[in-house]
Amino acid sequence: MADNIKGYEARLVSRSILLIEWEAREIFELMRMGIICKMDQHSVQLRDILMETLLYDSTIHDVLLQVLCIRAESLEELYLNRLLHPREIEWLQQAVYSALDLVGVALNYVTGGEYLKDYAGTSTLDQSLLLTKSMPVPFVIAATSLLGFHRYGSLQLAAARVLSSLCVIAQKTRPHSISIESYLLSAKQRKYLSSVLSHLLSEESASSNVELFSAVMDLVTVAAVYQPSFVEVMLFPQEGTAEPTNSMQNNGIIRLGTSTSVGYGMKLERTIYKGVDALWRYLQKCEINMKRQPYILSQILHFLRTLWQGGTEYLHILDKFDGRDMFWKYISSCISVFSSSEFIPLTMMSDEEVTTKAFQYQCQSSVLHIMAHDIFLRRHLVQFEKTLVKPDASASTTVVTNTDQATRGKDNKAIMLKHARPSCAEKILLEWSNSSTMHKILQSYASCLYDKELILHAKLLVLLLWV
């Protein structure tokens, strides 16, 4: 089967280079521009026609899938083919990117854009992308492989955006929702994806390509809402297997290997293997990132906020964060340290300073939400533990015929009992209340009330009203 897929991809790539090149890329670009254009009424009509065609025309889907189902491995092998000119390989990469970008724009309209109100349900395009039998290589497999294609960063960016929209569509598919995680059948595919995500979420990746880091954070955040099992695959290696080291082969895609070198041309510690460990490094520098990179930190904290909103569904993931020493001290420093900073009126701040301040407030908002959710979650688990102290007599007579279901239920109970403890966030709030920290926090959020010039200006306006 694997040889057949490779042979199919080889024929497909050869055919794509001959047929696609600039013509297909320009067609995809024109369609994308027609969809996002908002000039006048005629542009809106053109957009509706293009969206209708793109969502329901199977002929267009056949052409798109021939391009979209090219994996990163196939693109990498082209660089070893001496019969191909580098320009031809570049044309193919640009065509794949244009197709991904076009599909990403269309899916974005479907999942939450202006086209949502006229969307009747799952379209033919959605079905084509999600059906495993539509092509020898499922689109989800091809898209996840492109996440690790280091030679062409735009492909990684487009693949992350398309997968984000596909997470929403797969969950809303009727009559039954589809799990994106189910497409990753082999342990090698899961380890590969986890390895790629750990590198894309590293500090090196964020510093070199902020836009790609942001797209990957959007992907894991959306997956946390709509595809919980997909989040586990992305952030954790498969349980029960040894963690492999990673190597970059041919400076292109990240492959599993025996070397400790990676595609970013540097040595990384094994602790960065998991995406959680990569995010942990940002949390360790919360105070520094609040000043220098509040945008990146706000996305990470928003992802954590989404996990805490999931409650008991993500208990084992939450334990990877709050189970570490200093976690609550790190994230609470976003509030306690910066609450004592001097208030500066907006009129005296530059546009860049206003933007930085806005992201800092977003960070603080996410931290407060995390603390609130954790308090209620721990109280719920403590209450659940108390109910198990006196089991119901009728429950003991219940016969469970499904062994897997019984084992899964015991595991869930064990996880919930393990986390049934007082909330560390509640202790921090009590410490703030017993000191002047809480007063400073409230004062920082109501800074306008303590601005003497603003108060004087308000009094003058009131006097004018009386006159």
Could you tell me the residue ranges of all domains in the chain? 2-284, 296-389+414-466
Tokens linked to 294: 């509040």
Element (H, E) at 246: strand 245-249
Rounded CA separation 144/182 (Å) = 13
User: Torsion-angle region of residue 193: left (phi > 0), alpha (psi -120 to 50) or beta?
Assistant: alpha
Of 269 and 71, the one with more pLDDT: 71
Q: How far apart are CA 200 and CA 216, in angstroms?
A: 7
Q: Give residue 380's pLDDT.
A: 81
**Residues 367, 331: contact at Cβ < 8 Å?**
yes
- In this predicted structure, what is the pLDDT of residue 249? 38
As given in the structure block, the two tokens for residue 6 are 């490779």
pLDDT of residue 9: 53
Structure letter (DSSP) for residue 343: P
What is the token pair recorded at 319?
Answer: 């334990």
Give the residue from 317, 306, 319 showing the smallest Cα distance to 421: 319
pLDDT bucket at 467, cuts 50 / 70 / 90: very low
pLDDT for the residue numbered 260:
35
**Phi/psi at 339 (5° precision):** -75, -25
pLDDT of residue 305: 94
pLDDT attached to residue 404: 45
* Run of H or E residues at 316: helix 315-322
Cis amide linkage into residue 138, ω under 30° from 0: no
What is the reported pLDDT for 159? 94
Could you tell me if 98 and 29 are in contact, meaning their C-beta atoms sit under 8 angstroms apart? yes
Find which of 7-11, 106-110, 132-136, 209-213 is predicted with most confidence, using mean pLDDT.
Answer: 209-213
Contact predicate 108/156, CB 8 Å: no
- Give the pLDDT confidence of 161-177 residue by residue, as tens digits: 999 999 988 888 877 88
Distance separating alpha carbons of residues 301 and 289, to the nearest angstrom:
12
pLDDT band at 156 (very low <50, low <70, confident <90, very high): very high
Q: pLDDT band for 126, please (50, 70, 90 cuts).
A: confident
* pLDDT band at residue 266 under the 50/70/90 scheme: very low
In sequence order, the β-bridge partners of residue 256 are: 246
d(CA 442, CA 426): 17
Mean per-residue pLDDT, 65-89: 83
For residue 252, pLDDT beyond 50: no
pLDDT cut 90: percent of the chain above it: 20
SS3 category, 188: helix
Determine the pLDDT at residue 200: 92
pLDDT value, residue 308: 93
Give the per-residue pLDDT at 246.
40
Spatial separation of the C-alpha atoms in residues 198 and 175, rounded to whole Å = 34
∠ CA 441-442-443 to the nearest 5 degrees? 90
Q: Looking at residue 389, what is its pLDDT? A: 57
Q: Give me the residues paired with residue 245 across strands.
A: 257
Identify the DSSP state of 465. Answer: H
Select from 109, 281, 317, 141 the least CA-distant residue to 201: 281
138/39: higher pLDDT: 138
